Amino acid sequence: MQWVQWVFLVLALWAALVELHTGTFYLAAIAAVALLTVVLGFWVHPELLLSVFAAGCVGAMALVWIMRRRLPRGRGLADLDAGEEVTVVSVSAGGRRVVVSYRGTRWDAVIDKGPPLAVGDVAVIARKDGSLLHLGPPPGTAPHRPAPEST
């Protein structure tokens, strides 16, 4: 094995270790290209290995660019807070905006579905928009209907 191959092997190991600590995908690609350069060094003249490495890096970048354009975007992470219960701490004058206690802190919330809530009531998180919780009635509760008027 030539000394140039040793340099690329050290680069591959270094990039792989740093990638494990930082979590960047790009260092993993550099490590893979450097390792491929070491393997190709058995057949390619040592003076051309730097060109092989550069071409591999350009090819890897082009492949990532093409794949990012063609693959559909993910829907993002699932909202793990949806379906969790919250307790109403305070209610605004209109009754649709509330402050709730959830995970030990207070959150601003808005009631999307269901009747207006009072302090101490329990509601369920329907979704989250930034730091604003959208609430629905807890499962198993009957919809609120006003009492019939007597004449």
pTM: 0.47
Question: Cα(108)–Cα(122) distance, rounded to whole angstroms?
Answer: 14
85-136 fold: OB fold (Dihydrolipoamide Acetyltransferase, E2P) (2.40.50)
Question: Cα(134)–Cα(96) distance, rounded to whole angstroms?
Answer: 10
Whether the Cβ atoms of residue 25 and residue 63 lie closer than 8 Å to each other: no
Tell me the Cα Rg of the chain: 29
Question: Cα(100)–Cα(131) distance, rounded to whole angstroms?
Answer: 12
CA distances from 67 to 29, 30, 58, 75 (A): 14, 17, 14, 17
pLDDT tens for the chain, 151 residues: list them. Answer: 788 889 999 999 999 999 888 877 788 889 999 999 999 999 988 889 899 999 999 998 888 788 878 877 766 667 788 889 999 999 987 778 999 999 888 999 998 877 888 888 888 999 888 889 999 887 766 555 454 555 5
Q: Which helix (H) or strand (E) holds 63?
A: helix 49-70
Question: Cα(143)–Cα(130) distance, rounded to whole angstroms?
Answer: 28
Domain boundaries, the chain: 3-70, 85-136
Question: Cα(6)–Cα(34) distance, rounded to whole angstroms?
Answer: 10
Eight-class DSSP state of 143:
P
Q: What is the per-residue pLDDT across 120-146, written as a single tens digit (0 to 9) for each? A: 888 899 988 888 999 988 776 655 545
Question: What pLDDT, on a 0 to 100 scale, did the predictor assign at position 9?
Answer: 92
Please state whether 42 falls in left (phi above 0), alpha (psi between -120 and 50) or beta: alpha
Q: What is the per-residue pLDDT across 65-74, written as a single tens digit (0 to 9) for each? A: 888 788 777 6
Question: What pLDDT, on a 0 to 100 scale, did the predictor assign at position 103?
Answer: 87
Q: DSSP readout, 19-56?
A: HHHH--HHHHHHHHHHHHHHHHTTTS-GGGHHHHHHHH
